[in-house]
Amino acid sequence: MSFKLADVTPILEKLFTLPRGREITTTPEFARKIASLRPLKVDVMNNRPEFVVKLVPAAAGALALLLVHASASTPTAVGVWKQIDENGKVGALVTISEEGGVFVGRLSRLFLDPGDDPNPICSECAGARHNQPVLGLVFIEGMKQSGLDYEGGTILDPETGKLYKASMSLDPEGSQLTVRGYIGLPIFGRSQTWTRVQ
């Protein structure tokens, strides 16, 4: 009696909880090894083939492959995002990049209202940012990635010069980024959902 990958997939699915939208993928060589497993003997009391004993090392290998595949295919926040406020107004394009193991965001294009200063500066900002041009300003700093979530960072409001704690959350498709700035605890803040431009 031999087993095909289709026979073993439900067992693997029970062993591993996969992220939403992910599928079990494997190499042809691994599929052949799984399919060639044969029961050593059958436990008459439970009518259960003992190939499961042989399957455990294979399942561990499958888990490692799944983790590598999942991490390779997990989208990141790196890219250009359209910053949209709570009223649906586009305020800027934000370029997020990874620098030294953390993620930062720069204002890469501003959508100004008629009559606005065409070259705004951060007049309310403190320290090295004081009177720096808003265009190109790093206003998101220190975001550390954990899967689709980013935490431990800060976000600057260039209009007021105030610095807030911040977190970001990416949707599984990588097309929307929810950015939250807050004081103290995340419940004391506000969120914006940005859309990916590239």
Whole-model pTM: value is 0.63
The pLDDT assigned to 109 comes to 97
Q: Is residue 39 over pLDDT 50?
A: no
Q: Is residue 165 over pLDDT 90?
A: yes
At 167, the pLDDT band (50, 70, 90 cuts) reads: very high
At 47, the pLDDT band (50, 70, 90 cuts) reads: low
Total Cβ atoms within 10 A of residue 177: 25
Distance of alpha carbon 106 from the chain centroid: 19
Mean residue pLDDT of the chain comes to: 78
Is the domain of 120 the same as that of 191?
A: yes
Q: Is residue 46 over pLDDT 60?
A: no
Is the domain of 93 the same as that of 31?
A: no
CATH number for the domain harbouring residue 189: 2.40.128.520
The pLDDT assigned to 74 comes to 85
Of 73, 103, 121, the residue that ends a domain is 73
Angle, vertex CA 151, rays to CA 145 and CA 155, nearest 5: 115
In 3D space, the residue among 92, 82, 105, 76 whose CA is nearest the CA of residue 170 turns out to be 76
Is the domain of 24 the same as that of 121?
A: no
Q: Give the relative orientation of helices 51-73 and 5-15 as an angle to the nearest 10 degrees.
A: 70
| 98-120 mean pLDDT | 95
Is the domain of 95 the same as that of 62?
A: no
Of 28, 49, 73, the residue that ends a domain is 73
The pLDDT assigned to 30 comes to 54
Token code pair at residue 48: 């259960």
Is the domain of 133 the same as that of 46?
A: no
At 90, the pLDDT band (50, 70, 90 cuts) reads: very high
| 32-36 mean pLDDT | 57
Is the domain of 86 the same as that of 28?
A: no
Interatomic CA distance for residues 157 and 31, integer angstroms: 53
Domain region containing 135: 79-196
The pLDDT assigned to 87 comes to 86
User: Do the Cβ atoms of 148 and 172 come closer than 8 Å?
Assistant: yes
Is the domain of 121 the same as that of 171?
A: yes
The pLDDT assigned to 85 comes to 84
Is the domain of 85 the same as that of 63?
A: no
Of 40, 73, 106, the residue that ends a domain is 73
Is the domain of 68 the same as that of 85?
A: no
176 Cβ neighbours under 8 A, 6+ residues apart: 170, 193, 194, 195, 196
Total domain count, the chain: 2
Residue 107: strand, helix, or coil: strand
The pLDDT assigned to 68 comes to 42
In 3D space, the residue among 185, 184, 192, 195 whose CA is nearest the CA of residue 157 turns out to be 192
Is the domain of 101 the same as that of 152?
A: yes
Is the domain of 146 the same as that of 169?
A: yes
pLDDT tens-digit map of 50-86: 444 454 555 555 545 444 444 457 899 999 999 988 8
Provide long-range contacts, Cβ within 8 A and 24+ apart, for 58-65: 58/30, 58/33, 58/34, 59/11, 59/12, 59/15, 59/16, 61/30, 62/12, 62/16, 62/24, 62/26, 62/30, 62/34, 63/15, 63/16, 65/25, 65/26, 65/27, 65/30
Is the domain of 105 the same as that of 19?
A: no
Percentage of the chain lying above the pLDDT 90 cut: 57
